[in-house]
Chain A
């Protein structure tokens, strides 16, 4: 055995996704693929056909009488509490009893022998309504005097009045930032199997098994220990399965207990998209003061969000919009206020970035406004406003930015993307091309990592080493494609110095690790990787103690080497060593735990350190626009992104590529469109257009900043990767803006709202041209 042999699949190595082979062969089981016990029933939701109304009568007799129907569930059938609000505000009933608050709101569920029978029966309900006036968008809601769904947040720092008084230049503007549907390929699904006493097991596709467990217990009126929630994997989540699965879990569990049969519920895509929440859209008013050099002096921002009928996660989402309304820029004086508006739409929810991207778009719009006003390259304005040292490093929430690497990162990208020469080439092209216009933009991202709900920043793991040396890994995080399980298994492999394949990755279950946090806020690896490591270290400490005693060496003479253990002069294979430890009655199992240090946040004063650290990135995109139709294509994108010291560079790169495309889709073709009656008309991939392979940039260069290392003691000095690169897509929006502005000689900020569909692009071209 050679000493220089390394384990297969340790940390900081490229490792394929643990399920990759199962994915490509179709053998990876999703919830709908689990074999159904005999007698399994199927539930389907019956939903409202109006937007805002009092329910005067609900006649479900035809539903009950339909072929194959076993029964229906209404609010009256809920044994416990009729509420699934994830923040405990008691504003989100499973089924409403008096008032319909949005078009497509679930009113009841029908349970039948087959899914097809349930679907057909659900259409037969006779519901009578007394319609009420509705407000769909947040500005209309404000005008109609609708309430906030949750308390607004205000962030303030510096002397705003003086900032504006001393302003050399001042611009006020508004941007509408559109929402986004998650469009995970696997829709919502829950599958409940009743057990004895109060017990029920729910297999489902949630990012937050503990919350689903608690919600099911809540609606059943039983303690949490009666409910088990299992998740092996999701077919995508992106935030859409953080709180939104609660409804489906609740319905499946209630029905399973009521009829004592297994019950599955899976909405079709249209119902999935109409009955579950999306990214919040915002109307943002900004007022920015700046000097001749483009340095921002003061910012006053108002962030009005469409939250939908209930609070769901709108509080922390709108908070995070404010936390990121600075993006990478220092505001000497600032006031940022959120307005989380109630509207008669589905309750909006988490989505990758969690409000942050909307804030960042606002920051970049202000930069753009300044650049157009001064006739400068927006990149110059960006650089002039980056967080720096000496009094220019305090955020609007009073956290110091002390790990900024943007100067180097932007510098590197500017060179590798050849930004300056290409910008000159774009300007030259536009001067001679009357129809096709180009644009180029280089935009930065700074994103704060940690749940702003401080108590969420904890995690647990359960590690067993069996007496044959095989290892069982369980933790509270969920796998939705991001490779979390792979990375955590790499951490365990590294800790024990065993090959990756020795570790069995198991489904997430509330039975093994309790009280877990959502796999969200990009925190999955940071939290669960550390918790798993803690479990490994506990077992290793016992093993070292055992070995030191048995072989009579000092503890530092016990070393875990690749697949072997060196104890003084003795060398054993890992398996033999474990066998001996077992025979000596060493406990080979441990529950690991982790909580993020250093963070604190006082919402009432708007001060604290909500984020453990920041992740950074930048992208440079070039686009071509057809000024006759508004159609466009992305010619080239270059990305340099910071993931600290990557645990698995190839998986991290995959996250960056995927997030960029998803962010680009959000800002370009993904449009949520409600008709006047309040019906969402873009409710399936036929009408809601996420990017295709052919929408990728023609040239797409993605690199990780391999020189970066987290200054904080995160898992192996890595950084979170799920959300930050989503905002790299903003470079496409900014490039489109430049292309549009070329039609009037770059004199006017085109103020593109998002998504910048071909229609919005053409209408902006038309607006600029007709003002000439």
Chain B
């Protein structure tokens, strides 16, 4: 089968066919510059402000799902086979305001108005999923949208009231769901896409096997899953990424498997897609998961990418290592698997050979007596990068700590286990004294850095205190709160 050299998608209900789409072309620039759909704004070009929020509808297991994304860091080539919906598509053909828009107007949810289209799109996606959201659900949906004028109060009031202005049943995206599904299905031809000029080549493999082939042919290619990191290489650092191999569309990397042995997720699974499965099996991750970036980024970014990019401040590695996660890598038809903790060798250096890619992540089922916690400390509670993150897993048997895994992010050049602190706990009786000793031992494990997120002293002190928090939280004798109440 020959390759396809154009991308095909729907934009606000219209068919679009684009030849020669460069790997680094962003969806936002396409919308604003090529199509003059200027309702979508650029606020930061790094996926942090939400002014560029659009919906991308895509088929997953033949079901059409609309999600908010940041158009600024979404690469145009990756909307192949999708339905892109911008703010211009919300009001009906008669020009009447959409219920979300009406609610925003009547609750005075806009002041300068620049962030407003992005808020409207996030609230639209929320209303499709949850027509009558709680304030807490609204806040979670709006983690990726910044407003500098209103203080958010009127926006939240509008969001909670949207259902008074109309129901999703009357929404045209929902009414046209079957028709759009049919049209998107027709766009799928199972072919590899190779497009863009030679110096900015975009490749969308046809399948996971094809991905293995593509990477064997292009071992130095940039692998791009959700582009929540690679997007910034382009928009912020103007770095070439060619050839870029996009994998976010591959169904074969989207599997989520729950067995007695544990949870296995494909490397292309987004934070949003695995949220229910992972927090269902590991309830201690529920609050933590909602603090990974904002909604748009959780809809784009993948756990696999968070691991593969090797950042010392990625949110998932510390908590996954604490749970004893394994990852499976593949090159061509060769597969190997290793404990996640061994994947991180040094700053910017991972145990991944050229042409090799992360295929799946496996998290074993918790054992009896295993106490787990996941903590994140950041300057701002939500949508922030951690100054310190911790995954703590302690197995207690008859009052004695049998085993433990204590893993920190933000404390070293890689996500790293606290060997000395673990040693201070292992085979010791459960009690405050041993946790305090373990906390002291952290200075043998880490020499953190000072940077704009936190000082070395704060990192060390709060890392120590997180061990104390873990103790207090799991100690039967503590009857006062040891963490701030969440919403």
Minimal beta-carbon separation of A657 from chain B (angstroms): 4
Which A residues between 255 and 269 are near B, CB-CB below 8 angstroms? 268-269
Main DSSP-derived SS at the B contact region: loop
Bound together, the chains give a CA A762 to CA B104 distance in angstroms of 39
Minimal beta-carbon separation of A486 from chain B (angstroms): 11
Chain B residues whose CB sits within 8 angstroms of the CB of A237 once the complex forms: 112
**Cβ A682 vs Cβ B452 within 8 A:** yes
Segment at the interface with B among A1-9, A290-298, A477-485, A532-540? A477-485
Which B residues between 117 and 162 are near A, CB-CB below 8 angstroms? 117, 120, 138-140, 142-143, 145-156
**Cβ A669 vs Cβ B380 within 8 A:** yes
In the complex, which of the residues B38, B480, B481 has the most CB atoms of chain A within 10 Å of its own CB atom? B38
**Cβ A669 vs Cβ B379 within 8 A:** yes
**Cβ A631 vs Cβ B154 within 8 A:** no
**Cβ A233 vs Cβ B105 within 8 A:** no
Bound together, the chains give a CA A186 to CA B461 distance in angstroms of 38
Which B residues between 467 and 481 are near A, CB-CB below 8 angstroms? 468-469, 472, 480-481
**When the two chains form the complex, which single residue of B152, B461, B469 contacts A661, counting CB atoms closer than 8 Å?**
B152
**Cβ A21 vs Cβ B105 within 8 A:** yes
Is B41 on the interface with A (CB-CB < 8 A)? yes
Bound together, the chains give a CA A212 to CA B257 distance in angstroms of 61
Main DSSP-derived SS at the A contact region: loop
**Cβ B108 vs Cβ A633 within 8 A:** no
Residue in B closest to A626 when the chains form the complex, CB atoms: B484
Chain A residues whose CB sits within 8 angstroms of the CB of B49 once the complex forms: 185, 685
**Cβ A26 vs Cβ B482 within 8 A:** no
With A30-B114, A235-B41: A759-B455 Cβ-Cβ less than 8 Å: yes
**Cβ A692 vs Cβ B152 within 8 A:** yes
Is B457 on the interface with A (CB-CB < 8 A)? yes
Which A residues between 165 and 188 are near B, CB-CB below 8 angstroms? 182-187
Minimal beta-carbon separation of A508 from chain B (angstroms): 15
**Cβ B455 vs Cβ A233 within 8 A:** no
Is B372 on the interface with A (CB-CB < 8 A)? no
**Cβ B112 vs Cβ A758 within 8 A:** no
Minimal beta-carbon separation of B477 from chain A (angstroms): 12
Which B residues between 27 and 67 are near A, CB-CB below 8 angstroms? 29, 32, 36-46, 48-49, 51
Minimal beta-carbon separation of B98 from chain A (angstroms): 8
**Cβ B142 vs Cβ A693 within 8 A:** yes
Bound together, the chains give a CA A366 to CA B379 distance in angstroms of 27
Is A198 on the interface with B (CB-CB < 8 A)? no
**When the two chains form the complex, which single residue of A30, A183, A696 contacts B148, counting CB atoms closer than 8 Å?**
A183
Which B residues between 66 and 123 are near A, CB-CB below 8 angstroms? 86-88, 90-91, 97, 100-101, 104-106, 108-117, 120
Chain B residues whose CB sits within 8 angstroms of the CB of A700 once the complex forms: 153
Bound together, the chains give a CA A630 to CA B387 distance in angstroms of 12
Chain A residues whose CB sits within 8 angstroms of the CB of B111 once the complex forms: 17, 481-483, 654, 658
Bound together, the chains give a CA A21 to CA B461 distance in angstroms of 50
Minimal beta-carbon separation of A388 from chain B (angstroms): 33
Residue in B closest to A35 when the chains form the complex, CB atoms: B36
Bound together, the chains give a CA A33 to CA B40 distance in angstroms of 10
Is A144 on the interface with B (CB-CB < 8 A)? no
With A185-B115, A270-B236, A436-B481: A694-B143 Cβ-Cβ less than 8 Å: yes
With A235-B112, A692-B152, A759-B455: A186-B146 Cβ-Cβ less than 8 Å: no
Is B238 on the interface with A (CB-CB < 8 A)? yes
**Cβ B484 vs Cβ A436 within 8 A:** yes
Chain A residues whose CB sits within 8 angstroms of the CB of B384 once the complex forms: 689
In the complex, which of the residues B111, B151, B154, B236 has the most CB atoms of chain A within 10 Å of its own CB atom? B151
**Cβ B151 vs Cβ A662 within 8 A:** yes
For A656-686 the 0/1 string (1 means CB < 8 A from B) is 0111111000000101010100000110111
Is A763 on the interface with B (CB-CB < 8 A)? yes
Is B258 on the interface with A (CB-CB < 8 A)? no
**Cβ B452 vs Cβ A184 within 8 A:** no
A-B contact count (CB 8 A): 265
Chain A residues whose CB sits within 8 angstroms of the CB of B238 once the complex forms: 119-120, 123
**Cβ B472 vs Cβ A435 within 8 A:** yes
With A628-B465, A629-B466, A758-B379: A661-B101 Cβ-Cβ less than 8 Å: no
**Cβ B379 vs Cβ A26 within 8 A:** no
Residue in A closest to B450 when the chains form the complex, CB atoms: A675
Minimal beta-carbon separation of A440 from chain B (angstroms): 16
**When the two chains form the complex, which single residue of B45, B88, B152 contacts A269, counting CB atoms closer than 8 Å?**
B45
**Cβ A629 vs Cβ B39 within 8 A:** no
Chain B residues whose CB sits within 8 angstroms of the CB of A662 once the complex forms: 148, 151
Chain B residues whose CB sits within 8 angstroms of the CB of A659 once the complex forms: 151
Is A580 on the interface with B (CB-CB < 8 A)? no
**Cβ A685 vs Cβ B46 within 8 A:** yes
With A16-B105, A21-B97: A236-B114 Cβ-Cβ less than 8 Å: yes
In the complex, which of the residues A482, A682, A689 has the most CB atoms of chain B within 10 Å of its own CB atom? A689
Bound together, the chains give a CA A19 to CA B112 distance in angstroms of 9
Residue in A closest to B109 when the chains form the complex, CB atoms: A24
Bound together, the chains give a CA A554 to CA B374 distance in angstroms of 82
Bound together, the chains give a CA A483 to CA B111 distance in angstroms of 7
With A20-B110, A35-B36, A436-B481: A757-B149 Cβ-Cβ less than 8 Å: no
Minimal beta-carbon separation of B323 from chain A (angstroms): 22
**When the two chains form the complex, which single residue of B38, B149, B487 contacts A694, counting CB atoms closer than 8 Å?**
B487
Minimal beta-carbon separation of A702 from chain B (angstroms): 7
**Cβ B482 vs Cβ A435 within 8 A:** yes
Told that A25-B101, A32-B32, A762-B462 touch, could you supply 10 new A-B pairs with CB distance under 8 A?
A17-B111, A26-B116, A234-B112, A626-B484, A629-B469, A632-B484, A654-B150, A657-B150, A658-B150, A671-B452
Q: Which residues of B contact A (CB under 8 A)?
A: 29, 32, 36-46, 48-49, 51, 86-88, 90-91, 97, 100-101, 104-106, 108-117, 120, 138-140, 142-143, 145-156, 235-236, 238, 377-385, 387, 451-455, 457-458, 461-462, 465-466, 468-469, 472, 480-485, 487
Give 30 CB contacts A-B under 8 Å.
A16-B105, A24-B109, A25-B91, A26-B88, A183-B148, A185-B115, A185-B148, A236-B112, A236-B148, A269-B46, A435-B469, A435-B482, A481-B111, A626-B484, A628-B482, A629-B462, A654-B149, A654-B150, A661-B151, A669-B379, A690-B146, A691-B151, A692-B143, A692-B380, A693-B143, A694-B142, A696-B156, A698-B487, A759-B454, A763-B458
Closest 6 CB pairs of A and B: A26-B39, A235-B114, A481-B112, A23-B113, A661-B151, A481-B111
Q: Which residues of A contact B (CB under 8 A)?
A: 16-17, 19-30, 32-33, 35, 116, 119-120, 123, 182-187, 233-238, 268-270, 432-436, 480-483, 624, 626, 628-633, 650-651, 654, 657-662, 669, 671, 673, 675, 681-682, 684-687, 689-696, 698, 700, 702, 757-759, 762-763, 766
